[in-house]
Structure 1
Amino acid sequence: MRTLLVTGPGGSGRTTVAAATALSAAREGHRTLLISADPLDALGADHANLTLRALTPGDAFRDDLLALQNRAGSALDLLGAGRLDGEELTPLPGSDELALLRALRDAGQSTYDTVVVDLPPAPRALAVLALPEQLRRYLRRLLPPERQAARALRPMLGRLAGVPMPASWLYETAARWDTELAAAQAVIEHPGTTVRLVAEPGPAGSDAVRAAATGLALQGLRTDALHANRVFPDDTADLWLSGLVAQQRKTLAEWAQTYGDILGTLPHLGRDPRGADDLAALGAPAPVAAPAPVPWRVVDALADEGVLVWHIPLPGAVREELGLIRRGDELVVTSGTRRRIVPLPSALRRCTVAGAGLRDGELRVRFAPDPDLWPRTR
């Protein structure tokens, strides 16, 4: 299955481009699923091979809360608490993100050839894509799975310690959440999953693209296309538009140097795209084979110095915005407002950080073997 995650700055036309991409894939014969939380009026009528899934976070939130209320019914009755009706429930902040993760989980279990996901604007999209990994890490820290082996001993341990021990249902709930989050994470990290950025060429779009590209790379995600959207034609006679055209051409030249292999332009139609013909006129390409991943890799690049180097691709990163902290067997990498905590490879856990540097879009972290932990050679 090929999964395309479409995002970009707010107002850049990402929903329209996601719809055009899905329609292009469907017309090439791919069984295509388009997931979006926004209205998809631009698509018009139904199309062969194309299925739409509109996210309804309110419905999912209501069902979950009512199920929890039913499970805790006896305790609520004992406390004299009043029951909530489904009609009075409205979604809370965060329900949109959870609905999107569920849609990704369900898509991973489907039989579609292509899944196109209209993500929120770039900053929120990055937070959503990082959520499964982050939440699973929190669950492992708060409720370690290995402690479930002592389930039969918990009542006795509680009496000996004089404090209540976590109930079985708490571990069961954590395990269920971990399973669902792992399914969504598997789709996000699948080799066939890539991101397509959509932005209008200009100073604001350029800053947003740089931040998004770096944030996606920090999360280990691959960007396979940058769509410069709403590009004006060169041969305009309008003096007011000529200034915008010059600004767009300057940004496009900069993007060509940085993102030349993945850069594509989509024309400004002079109107908001409506219907299949307008979407086809945009020329958003159908998905092709996913590019090979660029892994976070450890290489013995300085063997003569006895140093291991961890290469972390961070295109567009700025040296002054980078941060690096070693915490036990984990490395905390910060770029701007984005942060990721990753476990160290086994070889590096027996090393100490010897330095780091940013070169050619890569953060290169040097590790020196710890004599107290590294096997001695004869």
Structure 2
Amino acid sequence: MPQTLLITGPGGAGRTTVALATAAAAARAGQRVLLVTAEDPRPGLPDGVRLARVDSGEEFRTEVAALQERGASLIGMLGGRPLGAEELTELPGAEQFALLRALRRAAESPDTDLVVVDMPPLHQAVTTLALPAQLRRYLARLLPAERQAARALRPVLAQLAGVPMPAQWLYEAAGRWDRELAAVQAVVEAPTTRIRLVAEPGPAADAALRTGALGLALHRLGIESLVANRLAPQGSADPWAAGIAARQEKCLAQWEETFPLIPIARLAHLGRDPEDPADLEELLLPAPVEGPGVAPWAVEDRRAEDGVLVWAVPLPRAHKAELDLVRRGDELLLAAGPYRRIVSLPSALRRCTVSGAALADGVLRVRFTPDPRLWPAH
């Protein structure tokens, strides 16, 4: 599987340009690069970079046509009429699914060392990358293990009715969706998949970056580097330009303190939009690096000290007021800002009750007290 680098950041930060520059730098270093984007590669595709276009409209029409073909018998039994391709207009969410399918195909691309993906803005990117795991959970919840019994009855019911049964079509579709989602989830969660953030230093970008990085941490998606884009030149005699540079440097100092383990690359403002591939060479970006990885969610055993187990969940720059957690059976619902995630508890914590939580130094520590009815006596 090739390395995958997802380029995202606050809206208007220059994500597509940085994606092109990243691909160009990797190609110059001798890597075989595939660029995945829904945009036209302007100022042009760099030498040595192959292109995979994401066409959500075409993807949507193809998927609906295939769905109608597989369900033709059921549609006919219900008196429905298939939709023609010319009637189809993509629905909300089609862009996200098209991007995820393109991501899976790119990860399976032969003769590729690096896949660079031009992602949507940061908030949408986080929700898109979280979709496969969330939808698989929904499918498992809505179509539980009892479907095995229905599967055994399908041939008999279909023979009596003379047509495929709706349940058969539903379970087969759910199984196919689960396999496709599992393949995408494997790419998203692979250690070879990392995220390069792009932001233009300033208050608005800082707020968006903080919230987005929180969502990435909640879903355990690793940040490879942060690109500070469109930096004003230092030492300008123009007070206006000097003021912009000073504000950017103040923001950069905060980012360096907030993300001490994440490399920060600085890109100077060209003074214009890139006009041709040669302009990309002026944007000196580092080659993709492995970085520090995703901070582990560790279980700390403090039974000898105060009789509890502590689950440490790193959530950098989180605020206490925006956090929430709810225990539901063997799962924990975690909410951080606009993001939510439901995670299965480690086996040791399933035999405990939640007895408190505290946020300190960017780590949420959830306290679990062992349930004496479920823990063996010593």
* Band of TM-score, shorter chain: over 0.9
CA distance in 2, matches of 1:136, 1:364: 27
Report if aligned partners of 1:300, 1:307 keep a CA contact under 8 Å in 2.
yes
CA distance in 2, matches of 1:30, 1:246: 37
Q: SS of 2:281's equivalent?
A: helix
2:360 corresponds to 1:356: no
2:236 corresponds to 1:236: yes
CA distance in 2, matches of 1:74, 1:192: 43
Q: What residue number does 1:94 align with?
A: 93
Q: SS of 1:249's equivalent?
A: helix
2:102 corresponds to 1:103: yes
Q: What residue number does 2:161 align with?
A: none
2:72 corresponds to 1:84: no
Q: What residue number does 1:148 align with?
A: 148
Shift of 1:246: 1.8
Q: What residue number does 1:250 align with?
A: 250
2:78 corresponds to 1:71: no
Query: Equivalences for 1:129-140 in 2 at 5 Å?
Result: 129-140=129-140
Shift of 1:68: 2.1
Q: What residue number does 2:114 align with?
A: 114
Report if aligned partners of 2:265, 2:286 keep a CA contact under 8 Å in 1.
no
Q: What residue number does 1:209 align with?
A: 209
Give the counterpart letter for 1:213 in structure 2: A
Shift of 1:166: 6.1
2:348 corresponds to 1:375: no
CA distance in 2, matches of 1:156, 1:353: 48
Query: Equivalences for 1:1-378 in 2 at 5 Å?
Result: 1-42=2-43, 44-45=44-45, 47-48=47-48, 50-77=49-76, 80-111=79-110, 112-145=112-145, 147-153=147-153, 167-261=167-261, 262-377=263-378
Shift of 1:156: 8.7
Kindly tell me the number of residue pairs found equivalent between the two proteins.
369
Q: Structure 2 vs 1, CA of residues 79 and 286 (structure 1 numbering), >3 Å: closer, same or farther?
A: same
Gaps of 5+ in 2: 158-164
Give the counterpart letter for 2:325 in structure 1: L
Q: Structure 2 vs 1, CA of residues 39 and 154 (structure 1 numbering), >3 Å: closer, same or farther?
A: same
Once superposed, what is the RMSD of the aligned Cα atoms?
2.1
CA distance in 2, matches of 1:14, 1:46: 16
Shift of 1:5: 1.1
Q: SS of 2:271's equivalent?
A: coil
Shift of 1:236: 1.6
Give the counterpart letter for 1:355 in structure 2: G
Q: What residue number does 1:160 align with?
A: none
CA distance in 2, matches of 1:192, 1:83: 42
Q: Deviations over 1:66-109 (max 9, x none)?
A: 12223333444455544422123221111100001101211232
TM-score by length of 2: 0.92
Q: Structure 2 vs 1, CA of residues 309 and 67 (structure 1 numbering), >3 Å: closer, same or farther?
A: same
TM-score by length of 1: 0.92
Shift of 1:313: 0.8
Q: What residue number does 2:162 align with?
A: none
Q: What residue number does 1:161 align with?
A: none
Gaps of 5+ in 1: 158-164
Q: Structure 2 vs 1, CA of residues 368 and 155 (structure 1 numbering), >3 Å: closer, same or farther?
A: farther
Q: SS of 1:294's equivalent?
A: coil
Shift of 1:155: 8.7
Report if aligned partners of 2:308, 2:367 keep a CA contact under 8 Å in 1.
yes
Shift of 1:128: 0.1
Shift of 1:169: 2.1
